[in-house]
Amino acid sequence: MTDRLVVVTREAPGILSPDALLARGEGACRDLTVCFMAAASDPEEASPVFGTYRGDPGLSRLRHAIRLEMF
């Protein structure tokens, strides 16, 4: 699935549904996380992890990130 999806920066609020993400072929990290949770064999064992990072040292603005951990 990851070879068909592109991660993009999207400032708009909200999360794309897995169907909308797959149709577009791109989405923010939060969209991909929700899609991967839906695809997990046991979604209750999938835990999203949120955080912020500086990103490019030349930028003064913090960026937000989300990833999925499976247990």
What single string gives the DSSP state of each residue in the chain? -GGG-EE----SSS---HHHHHHHTEE-HHHHHHHHHHHSSSGGGEEEEEEEE--STT--S-EEEEEEEE-
* pLDDT-flagged residues of the chain (< 70): 1-2, 43, 50-71
Instruction: Quote the pLDDT of residue 53.
Output: 57
Instruction: Quote the pLDDT of residue 21.
Output: 93
Instruction: Quote the pLDDT of residue 70.
Output: 65
Which range of residues forms the domain containing residue 53?
2-70
Instruction: Quote the pLDDT of residue 47.
Output: 72
Instruction: Quote the pLDDT of residue 12.
Output: 87
Instruction: Quote the pLDDT of residue 67.
Output: 63
Domain count, the chain: 1
